[in-house]
Amino acid sequence: MSLVRSLRESAGARLRGIALAQRVHARWRRRRYERRVAAFVAARDGVADRFPLGIVYEATMRCNLRCGFCYVGELLNLEGQWRQELPLDAIRAAFPSRAGVEVSLTGGEIFVRKDMSDVLGLFRDKGYVCGYLTTNGTLIDDQRAIALATLARAGFLKHVSVSIDGPRELHDAARGVKDTFERAAAGLRRLQEAARSMGAPLRVSINTTVSHESLSALDQMADVAGELGVDAIGVNHLMYATPEEVASTLDLVGAADASAIATFVTAHPGVQASEVQAKLEALAAACRDRGVRFDFRPKVHRDIIDRYYTPGAPLAGRCLYPFLHARIGFSGKVYFCPFIRIEVGDLTQSPFEQIWNSTRYVELRRRLLDERLFPVCRRCCKVELDRPRGTRNQGPVSTE
């Protein structure tokens, strides 16, 4: 046996061993999750544990880009004030110290905040772990790259997700600013080089969303990953709701203002299920060939994809996100979930633990258990969709 062949087989064995270990760990995590949520389902009282598993903090709603598809400014910035972010002292007072809690940062573009490194350091000092942060990558300069790699080396920061819509021309057109792709690529290179040079175990991935604009190039994302030097791709199915689903949900949760529903509202998603499936399968195959990890959410497999992309079609499933994760806006307002942005508390007015099982929070959780899914929840990245009985896992298969 030649040395090259021996090394190749040895490397393959190690990779298979790692993949097996990842699958075993994933099964263990799933069993632990099911045991935890079974208690909430059995009790049916809407009361969560004393503290959530994770917190998602929308650190800012400001951004340096002008993406044509982005509705963050209109739907998420409900208070109408882009710059009323919690300053460091207010964050320190609002968020309780709690070892091991997972905090994740999103926006807007989080690095528009000049004090973002200080915000991350504050959460680290409180004993939190940063599960992920999302960014468009264009503002990661050398100083920020080193700061992020330092946090990763310390065991605080686990994952950075950079939003990429497609190849260079498509991405720049979608983002509304020339040379955005190149700036994001440069930020990615700086971050990965800093992590490598410091020996920091930082996972860096790119994330893209199925849409009318991006679908034609979706199967090219493995090439984009290669160009950017990353080995993991996440795909979000288009998240949307029909006007009828919005109206029905508002009635169920007792809200009058449609602005409380923060998703893309449309009578038709603008894409065909068959084309989405074909593109995803082609991308999954390309990722396998390149050794790129690939995952998608929600888990819309072939046997339900037609219903997913058919407006108004019923989809069965469940969501227990509000029992496990808190969603906190830039000014300290606590919302029921990412899509149903009903205010359930304000960290500048009440302690977190008091808000977490407040009357309104518990009431909404109980209604969610009764319904299993509110209509606008059917096409959310947090949903756990049921599959028809007797079906098997049919492409595309996650390589995470």
Residue 80 has pLDDT above 60, yes or no: no
Name beta bridge partners: 235.
208, 296
The stretches of the chain forming alpha helices (DSSP H) are 3-43, 88-94, 116-125, 142-153, 168-175, 180-198, 221-228, 243-253, 273-290, 305-308, 321-324, 352-356, 359-371
Maximum distance among all Cα pairs of the chain, rounded to whole angstroms: 72
Query: The tokens 């790699």 sit on which residue?
Result: 149
103 and 132 Cβ atoms separated by less than 8 Å: no
Residue 83 has pLDDT above 70, yes or no: no
Separation of alpha carbons 136 and 100, rounded Å: 27
The pLDDT tens digits for 219-274 are 999 999 999 999 999 999 999 999 999 999 999 999 988 989 989 999 999 999 99
Residue 197's region, left for phi above 0, alpha for psi from -120 to 50, else beta, is: alpha
Confidence of residue 10 (pLDDT cuts 50, 70, 90): low
Residue 215's nearest CA partner among 278, 173, 161, 263 is: 278
Supply φ then ψ for residue 378, to 5 degrees. Answer: -65, -25
- pLDDT at site 8: 52
Segment 383-387 shows an average pLDDT of 92
Residue 208's nearest CA partner among 137, 110, 302 is: 137
The pLDDT tens digits for 161-209 are 999 999 999 998 888 888 999 999 999 999 999 999 999 999 999 999 9
Separation of alpha carbons 209 and 195, rounded Å: 26
Segment 370-387 shows an average pLDDT of 94
Residue 103 has pLDDT above 90, yes or no: yes
- pLDDT at site 266: 93
Confidence of residue 70 (pLDDT cuts 50, 70, 90): low
Residue 282 has pLDDT above 70, yes or no: yes
290 and 225 Cβ atoms separated by less than 8 Å: yes
SS3 188: helix
Confidence of residue 394 (pLDDT cuts 50, 70, 90): very low
Residue 133 has pLDDT above 90, yes or no: yes
